[in-house]
Amino acid sequence: MKNTENKIKNAFTQVTPDLLDSVIRDSGSTKGTVIYMKKQRRFPVAAISVAAALLLVLGGVLGAFALLGRNAVASVVSIDVNPAVEIKLNKNEEVVSVTAINEDGKIIIGNMELEGVSVDVALNALVGSMIKNGYIDELSNSVLVSVECEDKAKNDALRKKLMDVVNALISNESSAGSVITQKVDQSDEEAKRIAKGYGISLGKAQIVAALCKENASYDAASLAKLNINELSLLITNNGTEVNGETTGNASDKKYINPSRAQTVALSYAKVTEEVVVGRIDVSLDFDDGIMVYEVDFRTEDTEYDIEINAVSGEVVSCETEEIFSVNSNPALEKDYVSPESVADTVLTFCPDKSKWSEYECEFDHEDGKLVYEVELKYEGIEHEFIINAVDGTVLRHKTDRHVNSGTDTDVSANGFVSESAALSAVLTRAELTEKDITDLKIELDHDDNVWKYEIEFRFGKYEYEAEVNADTGDIISYEKDIDD
């Protein structure tokens, strides 16, 4: 504005020169003589006013454009711990706005006015507030930084920069922090649904959606309530991939250690470590709204699956299953088909044995019958068989795979309709196309002497489940439910 005023002043001076000195000099000392002065052309006052107004308008327009440039959003960053805060940045990585996503986020922002500062300064202030208010400490040391920016190179650079800044803030000589940075994927409709439904950031919703896809026992409603440290531990436990990078390890200091969980489980089962066959698996997990240790082991005749509350160390649940082994009783070999015969039966469904992997065959008891349970992978597809141990007949055969890969199981050799044909029948019933749906899953199952496809998918807030006869292509059952 001051520059504009100076411009007006200079313009005014140039068009209205100071002629007083020259007039006095020309007049000399003559008295009583009338001196005729030529009339000087003067710039009209109205023109001066117009010029001044134009300059003011020009300054205002330029100022407005500058303001719009500073406020144009080029990228969006969300910071999650349990407090969640969204930061909008301009092209110079200066803060346009800071918004709390949840109530804890409001506490973090407080009375701070961060508009116009660099993203580094904003992060220092916000993360510092999280530490001061006890949201980040040695028991909960994980921060999620999610970046939305269309320019991939800028997205990668900004994520790297923010990771370094946050990591420096939450790490010290006695403890290290854990930072997850990820790209926000606006095409992830499931994550959008979760974010909207549970009032969390889209970045956190992507983590929740990935975990639910990895582990069918999880539900989004429960996971959405967890903080980032707890979600980070589950990511590690499940081997879940995030759309970005992770540094450091999430803190587990809040929980009892795995060795104590193992001791509690063995004591509860009244089993000593000496009688355990194989290894004892202990893993941190989430079930029924709490963090638990799953302790799995077996003896000669029993399998144990025990859950221990990861905080209190109390036993939450204990499941046991009796083990039957044809090799433990030689007399049984005369009355039941051999494991070799079972393998021959499997060959009729998976004919190239060189393509078998992860093959397991166990003698077991199911629904009052002695059976063989067989699991294997064949050409990348998981197969499960339940085979009658008395006569070798296949009681159940199930394949399990996600079909989003675009491949289709070749079942024509068995005379079945294809997966795509089965899916098409269900989509016609639902009045949808394959482009409309998400989370598609198709399984080929053999139950009650009927081969069928079990088909599941989502559309918007609805979940669809259907069974299609694999021989005829007819729909056996069809359900449409609202996903709560």
Share of the chain above pLDDT 70, in %: 78
SS3 labels along 32-45: CCCCCCCCCCCCCH
Looking at every residue in the chain, the average pLDDT score rounds to 82
* Residue with the larger pLDDT of the pair 470 and 48: 470
pLDDT band at residue 241, thresholds of 50, 70 and 90? confident
d(CA 256, CA 161): 35
- In contact, 109 and 126? CB cutoff 8 Å: yes
> Are the CB atoms for 477 and 467 separated by under 8 Å?
yes
For 336, residues 6+ apart whose C-beta sits below 8 A from its C-beta are 326, 363, 370, 389, 390
Structure confidence at residue 233 (pLDDT): 94
Report which of residues 453 and 379 the model is more confident about.
Answer: 453
| pLDDT of 221 | 92
**pLDDT for residue 96:** 95
Q: What pLDDT does 415 receive?
A: 63
Q: Could you tell me the pLDDT band of residue 53, with boundaries at 50, 70 and 90?
A: low
Asked whether residue 42 carries a pLDDT value surpassing 70, the answer given is no
**Token pair for residue 72?**
């144009």
Q: Is 56 helix (H, G, I), strand (E, B) or coil?
A: helix
Question: Is it the case that residue 22 has pLDDT exceeding 50?
Answer: no
Does residue 251 surpass a pLDDT of 60? yes
The SS3 assignment for 31 reads coil
Alpha-carbon span 163 to 145, nearest angstrom = 7
* pTM given for the model: 0.59
Mean pLDDT, to the nearest integer, of 403-421?
58
Whether the per-residue pLDDT at 269 is higher than 90: the answer is: yes
Q: Is the pLDDT of residue 335 over 90?
A: no
Strand segments, DSSP code E, in 36-192 are 75-80, 84-89, 95-100, 142-148, 178-183
Grade residue 119 by pLDDT with cuts at 50, 70 and 90. Answer: very high
Q: Are 224 and 80 spatial neighbours (Cβ–Cβ below 8 Å)?
A: no
162-201 burial code (b ≥16 CB/10 A, e <16):
bbebbbebbbeeeebbbbbbbbbbeebebbbbbbeebebb
Spatial CA neighbour of 83 closest among 100, 71, 97? 100
Distance of alpha carbon 170 from alpha carbon 139, whole angstroms: 12
- The arithmetic mean of pLDDT across residues 419-431, rounded, is 92
Rounded-to-5 percentages of helix, strand, coil across the chain? 35, 30, 30
Angle at 40 between CA 36 and CA 44, to 5 degrees: 145
CA distances from 167 to 23, 131, 163 (A): 76, 13, 6
CA distance 116 to 93: 9
| pLDDT value for 46 | 60
Residues 85 and 123: their CA atoms lie apart, in Å, by 10
Q: Which residues of 238-263 are buried (b: 16+ CB within 10 A; e: fewer)?
A: bebebbbebebebbbeebbebeebbb
Residue-wise pLDDT tens digits, 284-315 = 999 989 999 999 998 888 889 999 999 999 99
Q: Which two tokens stand for residue 309?
A: 């509350």
Helix 228-238 / helix 202-214 crossing angle, nearest 10 deg: 30
108, two tokens:
């973090």
In 270-404, alpha helices (H): 332-335, 339-347
Q: Average of pLDDT values for 84-93? A: 94
Q: How confident is the model at residue 54 (pLDDT cuts 50, 70, 90)?
A: low
One-character DSSP codes across 315-332: EEEEEEEE---GGG-TTH
pLDDT > 90 in the chain, percent: 47
How far apart are the C-alpha atoms of 452 and 399, rounded to whole Å? 11
Tokens 């068995």 belong to: 414
pLDDT of 176-207, one tens digit each?
889 999 999 888 899 999 999 999 999 999 99
pLDDT, residue 6, reads: 47
**Mean pLDDT value of segment 96-104:** 95
Find the range with the poorest average confidence among 205-209, 230-234, 352-356, 479-483. 479-483
Q: Is the pLDDT of residue 39 over 70?
A: no
Range in 133-147, 293-307, 370-384 the model is least confident about: 370-384
Reading the block at residue 177, the tokens are 């922090």
What's the token pair of residue 298?
């077996």
